[in-house]
Amino acid sequence: MTIFLQQQIVKLNEYIRSPKGVSDTQYKTIARRFVEEIFNERKTDAAKNFVTPDISYHGMAEEVKGLEEFKKWVGEDLSAFPDMKITIVDAFGEQNKLALRWALKATHDKDFADFPATHKKFEAHGVEILHFEGDKIKEAWTVSDLSVLAQ
């Protein structure tokens, strides 16, 4: 069997396993662009390109429903941490779900989640699980260690 044929079989298997023909590799690309554009480049209006209109986002202490509420929530995070930079450390998934392990570096400039602003730089780590519908995120869960904000 030629290398070309083997590559085509792998692509076909990814297509068959993934809803609407989106491969695991494509989900990873979408997730990386989502983090880069929405959080790192602060383009909250671009959220419509990455999430469904009825997105359900489950945070540590809150739940956000719908595109407009999601954009508002992201804006509040970006306001509290104006120099926030998220780096995806690892990504893996199966079918239409993708898990991300990430690291965040930022300065805590405004009160956030009952933590008063410290104006100090910090680093936090977390995990995100994304559930896709087609090529957009329909639901997400995030878990992170915010205890660093209390230090």
Tens digits of residue pLDDT in 105-136: 999 999 888 888 999 999 999 999 999 999 99
Distance CA 78, CA 23 (A): 31
Question: Is the Cβ–Cβ distance between 102 and 89 less than 8 Å?
Answer: yes
* pLDDT band at 11; cut points 50, 70, 90: low
pLDDT of 9 over the 60 cut:
no
pTM passes above 0.75: yes
Distance CA 61, CA 23 (A): 32
Domains of the chain listed by start with CATH number? 3-150 (3.10.450.50)
Q: What percent of the chain has pLDDT over 70?
A: 86
C-alpha 10, offset from chain centre = 26
Average pLDDT over every residue of 59-73: 92
Distance CA 30, CA 26 (A): 6
